[in-house]
Amino acid sequence: MSLETVSAQEESHLLRYALGLLAVPTPKKLDSQAISPDTHAAMLTIKKMTKALGGRVLFEEADMTINWGERVALVGPNGAGKTTLFKIILGEEDRDSGTFDLDEYGMVGYLAQEAGDPGDATILEISMGISEELQAVMATMRTSADDSDEFGKAQDRYEELNGYQLEPKAKKILAGLGYAQEDFGRPANMFSGGWVMRAHLARLLVEEPDLLMLDEPTNHLDLHSLMWFQKYLQQYPGALLIISHDRSFMDGVIEKVYEIDEMRLVPFAGNYTKYLQLKEERYDQQLKAFLNQKKEISRIQEFIDKFRSVGSKASQVQSRVKMLEKMERLPKPRKPRKLFHFHFPQPPRSTQRVISLENVSKAYDDNVLYTNLDVFVERGDRIVLVGPNGSGKSTLMKMLAGIEKGDAGKRNVGTTTKIGYFSQHRAATLNENNSVLEEVVDAGGGMRENEARSILGSFLFKKDDVQKRVGVLSGGEKSRLSLVKFLVDPPNLLLMDEPTTHLDMTSIEALVSALKQYEGTLVFISHDVHFIRSLAEHTWHVADGEVKKYSGGYDYYLQKSGAFGDDFFDV
């Protein structure tokens, strides 16, 4: 094959293979037609796929197409089959029938929900996606600084293995995802699982697979790294397939939505907000067609019944009978899931000054978070805490809640302040012998059972789920149940740390709706920008031991702080 016959897309792929940025596939053929230069050509095609799991049909003759460079979201309720579809694409699950075609030169990259044991690899080594040989060479370079001969040989081999092409890009991506420069060379096993996941995400961005599959990629990111990541994906050269419960993130990245609906994969053009609009329009059209057909069937049947015994009308009657027999009946469309609107009880009125911290200091060993911190919260405030991970947001929340004490200073609580602290670990407040339904009814002060069922349904407890014993629930289910208990018996100061974790987007909207009704005082931490924009009226930026207060919501904070200047997104 001469260079003159290589398409632009082929040339890009071959260059990346040569640099070691992509794993080389085993080609069936290699010619000018092997990789289409058309970025709108299909990379992934699924036709008439059927898949059953555990006796339940997830997909029935489902179709899906992802083109080169296309940005796609996969949505649907929990249990609809999103993860199963990912596994089918990755070759970890077989389909029962149908065809599956992945472009033979398309490389797929996937970010798993959990990272394995990183061993002795450093954050930089993980992010570079390095081979065992390259990892060994880097280790030799670290340990042989005093042996110029050994170091020189290792350095030469490092260059031969394209380390110098990978390293600068990896470092820039790690910085964008929130790592400090001094973190690059540290062993990954010194970091939390969330930070290790960021290193694996960096590795995928360095590799630049042609189809990047991400399952809840924003779970381990703070707001700053999330905004950087969103901007990076907007410029990503490959195709994206994303599962996410972050509405703002999807609006900023995707251009097409596939919804799993009644065992089919239904495409919608546009971002997530556009999908919601088109879904409503589709339902209205389907309902209109269903009602029109029903009306037409009734009209025809009325003619048949009226003239069945009239000889002169026999041929017309018979014609209409055959018409009804051949008519394909339209199914009644399922109404899109709506929010359950419930007027939650309101908390008792608090004092004007709800809570304050005066001259508070807090440190963990040598890590000093706060020195002489002064903050106060007033009645009716709706405050979001923002700032990088590790800056002390959760610690500040715990000190307000009284869960942790400052090393020095004073905590003042209003005389009528009733505090509710919602963390992601609330199992201790639940009665494990109760059913889910009993737990909510008991907390709701005389709430009717049907109301409790409706509220639980909005937070993903369906039908028989409400009869489960609390003791058998997963961590995510217990977190959601605790959230419902807060809503049916709210305190007048609600402190919430990442309340949208474990919720789908409809449940997040239900929570937003409930908190908009809430008349108490709210302080929360979240990395869900849509949730923040819906609720925050004040923004506290926490960083470097300081809390800087902005008397406006998230967009006001962005405008006044210049938090995301042009250089922030420079990669």
Q: Same domain, yes or no, for 282 and 135? A: no
What pLDDT, on a 0 to 100 scale, did the predictor assign at position 385? 96
Q: Which residue has the higher pLDDT, 523 or 566?
A: 523
What pLDDT, on a 0 to 100 scale, did the predictor assign at position 443? 80
252 in a structural domain: yes
Residue 510 near residue 340 (C-beta atoms within 8 A): yes
For 208-271, where are the alpha helices, taking DSSP H only?
Answer: 223-234, 247-253
Mean pLDDT of 61-87: 92
β 239-243/211-215 pair status:
parallel
Question: Is a pLDDT exceeding 60 seen at residue 571?
Answer: no
193 in a structural domain: yes
What pLDDT, on a 0 to 100 scale, did the predictor assign at position 17? 36
Mean pLDDT of 518-537: 94
Q: Alpha-carbon distance 187 to 215, whole Å?
A: 25
405 in a structural domain: yes
Residue 186 near residue 163 (C-beta atoms within 8 A): no
Q: Same domain, yes or no, for 99 and 215? A: yes
Q: Same domain, yes or no, for 231 and 286? A: no
Average predicted confidence (pLDDT) for the chain? 84
Full residue range of the structural domain in which residue 192 is found: 118-206
Confidence class for position 86, pLDDT limits 50, 70, 90:
very high
What pLDDT, on a 0 to 100 scale, did the predictor assign at position 33? 32
Q: Same domain, yes or no, for 132 and 28? A: no
**Which of 26-30, 294-298, 497-501, 525-529 has the least mean pLDDT?**
26-30
Q: Same domain, yes or no, for 502 and 564? A: yes
484 in a structural domain: no
Mean pLDDT of 265-269: 95
Question: Is a pLDDT exceeding 70 seen at residue 25?
Answer: no
Confidence class for position 568, pLDDT limits 50, 70, 90:
low
Q: Alpha-carbon distance 107 to 90, whole Å?
A: 11
Q: Under 8 Å CB-to-CB from 277, ≥6 apart: which residues?
A: none
Nearest to 504 by CA among 284, 317, 244: 244
The DSSP bridge partners found for residue 497 are: 525
Q: Of 206, 227, 249, at which residue does a domain stop?
A: 206
How does pLDDT run across 356-399, given as a tens digit for each residue?
Answer: 999 999 999 888 999 999 999 999 999 999 988 888 999 999 99
What does the block give as tokens for 214? 């991400």
CATH of residue 91 = 3.40.50.300
Mean pLDDT of 556-564: 82
148 in a structural domain: yes
Question: Is a pLDDT exceeding 60 seen at residue 15?
Answer: no
Q: Same domain, yes or no, for 226 and 202? A: no
Q: Alpha-carbon distance 454 to 482, whole Å?
A: 16
Residue 38 near residue 68 (C-beta atoms within 8 A): yes
What pLDDT, on a 0 to 100 scale, did the predictor assign at position 103? 87
Q: Alpha-carbon distance 143 to 90, whole Å?
A: 38
Question: Is a pLDDT exceeding 90 seen at residue 295?
Answer: yes
For the packed helices 436-443 and 449-458, what is the interaxial angle rounded to 10 degrees? Answer: 110
Q: Alpha-carbon distance 151 to 141, whole Å?
A: 6
473 in a structural domain: no
CB-based burial, 136-158: b 16+ in 10 Å, e otherwise: ebbebbeebeeeeeebeebbebb
Q: Same domain, yes or no, for 280 and 253? A: no
Confidence class for position 522, pLDDT limits 50, 70, 90:
very high
Q: Same domain, yes or no, for 123 and 216? A: no
Q: Same domain, yes or no, for 532 and 420? A: yes
Confidence class for position 428, pLDDT limits 50, 70, 90:
low
Number of domains in the chain: 5
Q: Alpha-carbon distance 351 to 379, whole Å?
A: 7
442 in a structural domain: no
Which residue has tokens 């470097």?
Answer: 544
Return the percentage of the chain with pLDDT > 90, whole number: 49
Q: Concatenated DSSP letters for 128-148?
A: TT--HHHHHHHHHHHH-TT-H
Q: Alpha-carbon distance 189 to 316, whole Å?
A: 81
Q: Same domain, yes or no, for 143 and 101? A: no
What does the block give as tokens for 135? 């990892």
Q: Same domain, yes or no, for 133 and 24? A: no
How does pLDDT run across 201-214, given as a tens digit for each residue?
Answer: 999 998 888 999 99
Strand, helix or coil for residue 412: strand
Q: Same domain, yes or no, for 421 and 499? A: yes
Q: How far is CA 134 from CA 18, 131, 139, 167, 569, in A?
A: 16, 5, 9, 12, 29
478 in a structural domain: no
Confidence class for position 339, pLDDT limits 50, 70, 90:
low
